[in-house]
Structure 1
Amino acid sequence: MASGMFALALFLLGDLALGEGGHGQHCPWTNHWEWSGMFQVQEGDWLSWNVEKGENGEYAMDSMKIIVLGVSQSSVQTLEDLEDMAENLFHGNLTTAASGVVLLPGAAYLLSFSQDLWLSQFKIQAPVGGKLAFFTEHLPEEFENKLHYLKAADGSDVEPMEEESSMECADMADAGIEPVKGLQEKRWAEVIGASFLTIIPSIFGIAVLAASFSKQLSSWGKKALQFANSSACGVVFAAAIFLLMPESIELVSAGKESESLAAGVWGAAVIGGWFLGVMIDHSCSIVTWMWSQTWQQMSRKAVGRKLPRTEILKSQTAQAAPKSPRLHS
């Protein structure tokens, strides 16, 4: 049974880790924008959104709609969570912005490119928390020639921590991969059902062995069970860590100066979470043991106080009972 629960836990962990992270889950592409991305930068830093002319000396488009949204640092919102807000802004009143204008988060703009220059730049200041989301009418890469589309004040490229684009759906179509409708919905019933189907042979085999060696198993079965449970918990914990490691390190590293610092923070969080669970378990065990000891002492004292009364009642009963006459020979 322990192995069965372990298999079920692994299936559920895999579903949690991959259920919403698969590529192409937003296909077929129905959004009015071609690209969206979320970035994590230093709070208050200035960024430059760059639009270049191509090698032919022309912009890919004369203008482009763009939505700029600020996201709270403590928020767990994803691009999918922001789509409704972006949709409303995309079809609302757009502010025309020429090259050099500062783009404010929470607004929709129609970028007007400078035809006299090879480059049009738009300034953006990172909001509180330093988290920004962009929704663009066209792919930013269409306007790249020599410069990255988003750069920091020091000239370094700023890469998205999460992005979606219509090109992913186009690549899937070119590869002949049909998008699965409703892929975003978690199929819990199928996962749980498949898990139980895979463990039925194991459960049947364990039941047969238990029936055949019931006497032998009864002596050491309880001792072996605690080791089996400990091993299963360790494997599930390790599987969860390895499943979460790639994305979690990427999220933690956002805004950090180095990868080693991000890895240290992530490792400390994992160890701290495990240590917190151990402390809670041991604290509950100590409190339970202290309560049981206190209860036993209270019970003993109560019995000690009741004992003299019982003896008195016995003596009074013996005195009140009539004595049988003695027979003399």
Structure 2
Amino acid sequence: MTSAAFAELDAAFAEHGPDLAADPPVAVGHRVVHGGTRFREATRIDDEVLATLEELTPLAPLHNPANIVGIRAAMAHFPDIPHVAIFDTAFHRTLPPAAYTYAVPREWQERYDVRRYGFHGTSHEYVSGRVADLVGRSDIAIVVLHLGNGCSACAVLDGQSVETSMGMTPLEGLVMGTRCGDLDPAIPFHLARTTGMAAADLDRTLNKDSGLKGLTGVNDFRTVAERAEAGDAAAAAAIDVVTHRLIKYVGAYAAVMGRLDAIAFTGGIGEHSPLLRARVLGSLGVLGVVLDESANAAARGEGLLSAPQSRVAAYVVPTNEELQIARESVALVGR
């Protein structure tokens, strides 16, 4: 499969350019979901780094193994070019201890790396930087809402992540396409006792069959919105749950930062659902948010959603993780 993928890549370069022989790549950037506490910035990949990524597999068993397969295949295909790992967790290295520490036995923290790491960092870094450009200054308090099949919120204060919704794994936080988000941790124990469900079944259900899919049977927010518009009570209730969770997080993050200057929506849902943006922003008047309904309805690509009198600027900003990965890779290799 990987050889076929790289054959397609070579064909695309041959057809569209550039000529790889005459103008070889500066670096190959790889998105890696979990860097644990060992990788806190862009890192040039070598055998030692790959071995460490293998060791981190228990922290991200659904993601890191696939990342490693891709890296090995790319390194075999481009053996003479630097390869750089860009970690989803790296942007959240600035989380203060009060934000990343769980109230569990210290042994769990020290021996098993149990703590909040946060994810979608590449997206949150790109979008928060773009919002700073739009506002015209970097000393601002932003809540970025990355909303797609996977969803996360991030509080970015003066360019640094200070709180984020995903935790040790991407399961925690907002309601997602198939992930439950925040959950009473006693629920899996209750189900194990009363139904006999095994740990693997609980893991699969909370990751693959919960969230929107668990509430409505489908994990596509567009379909859920269409069903709600047609009078489907379960779909309407699911949108209420999603909206409630988002409002709660925005309010909490504003309190954590001590102020709120901007909100940004990104990701497939954040960029393309005026309905959800309106539901969230329309409920944040207590923070001084005033929605421009016409601008929200007409938004295509990057744009301002808030009215002139709004104390908080609200934007939709298409994420560009590929560009962020490219920037960090080029910065690391020095060209």
Same topology, TM > 0.5? no
Mark the structure with the bigger radius of gyration.
1
For CA contacts below 8 A with separation 6 or more, give which structure has more relative contact order.
1
What TM-score bracket applies, with the shorter chain setting the length? under 0.3
